[in-house]
Amino acid sequence: MTDLPIKFRHLRTFVEVARQRSVGRAAEILHVSQPAVTKTLRELEAAVGAKLVERAGRGIRLTEAGEVFLQHSGASLAAIQRGLDSVARTRSGPPLRIGALPTVSARIMPPAILRFLARRTGTLVRIITGENVVLLEQLRLGQLDLVVGRLAAPEQMAGLNFAHLYAEPVRFVVRAGHPLLGQAPLDFSRIHDFLVLMPSEGSVIRPFVERFLIEHGVGDLRSEIETVSDSFGRAMVRQTDAVWIISEGVVASDLEEGTLVALAVDTAETRGAVGLTTRANIPFPPAVDLLSQIVRETVGQFGL
């Protein structure tokens, strides 16, 4: 090995040639001439002290030394890129920390975040999903910058501001082919015959559900499971005859695809406000303003 320095361009050129198995294709991807690629490879081989590539028909192949060197050069390039990304995130400021209820995470946030990333602000985004009361406490403590979810009870909104986005009902959903399907309106007394997945105590939609059930003559359920896990609820309903009582947004795509079906129940009275919650009188990062506007635009495109 000589004292010739190995530069970033040497590694990048070698790795691309190894990937393409062609000097010509590598030159096109790197936006340089073929002679420039060949010259860079020769410089690298001189620095390494070994032949790394050789002709193979119309293309090239790696020598034994080239195969060994590729493992280390690829890892080095990846490490350099991670370092550059880390520096870029540092320059762009702290990450944007967003709390989102499952109903919002499943429906609104994916397209909203894609639009936000398309603005290329360089801001790292962290999405935290959990129960409303937990997210609001994290917001109040400054651990989150924004919460997107349902309006909480007045006693939980002290020191917080809420901006309305839309209203969303609760749905009673089951698997396709469920015994309760085909009844309109539903005979609520039959709910007792099935396992019911209820929102957990303390969850923001629990009071809506309890009031609705009482108004329809359903008191204590004989068999119920409390959960706020959308993955568990979705799996249970698909595999059993359970009835899942859940916010519409969580299962919107399932209902559209027909993998889950809503029972014939008028749940309009369970509609609750969904919106943006921030800390009152506390300045927040400009990125919060941008994401908030994008979320509003996304909601508008859904027609909610």
Q: In this predicted model, what pLDDT tens digit does every residue of 186-234 receive, in sequence order?
A: 788 888 889 999 988 878 888 888 888 888 887 777 678 998 888 899 9
Report residue 39's pLDDT band, with 50, 70 and 90 as the boundaries: very high
- Structure token pair of residue 159: 């020191």
For residue 221, what are the contacts with CB-CB under 8 A and spacing of at least 6? 191, 192, 196, 198, 213
Which strands sit side by side in the sheet containing 125-129, from one edge to the other?
A: 125-129, 96-100, 146-150, 272-279, 160-168
Q: Please, which pLDDT band fits residue 299 given cuts at 50, 70 and 90? A: very high
Give me the residue label for tokens 């003559």: 217
Band of the pLDDT at 244, cuts 50, 70, 90?
very high
Record the tokens describing residue 168, joined without a space: 């969303």
Amino acid at 122: G
CA distances from 244 to 193, 253, 254, 278 (A): 14, 15, 13, 30
Q: Which domains does the chain have, with CATH numbers?
A: 8-91 (1.10.10.10), 96-167+273-302 (3.40.190.10), 170-270 (3.40.190.10)
Q: What is the DSSP letter of 272?
A: E
Q: What predicted TM-score, i.e. pTM, was given to this entire model?
A: 0.63
Checking if the pLDDT of 89 tops 60, the result is no
For the CA atoms of 212, 300, 175, 272, the dihedral, rounded to the nearest 10 degrees, stands at: -10
CA 29 to CA 17: how far, in whole Å? 10
Query: Which own/partner pairs from 50-53 qualify as long-range (CB within 8 Å, at least 24 positions apart)?
Result: 52/14, 53/14, 53/17, 53/18
Is the pLDDT score of 86 beyond 70?
no
The confidence score (pLDDT) of residue 1 equals 47
In the predicted model, is pLDDT for residue 155 greater than 50? yes
- 9-13, 86-90, 202-206, 257-261: range with highest mean pLDDT: 257-261
Say which range, 5-19, 65-79, 90-104, has the weakest mean pLDDT: 90-104
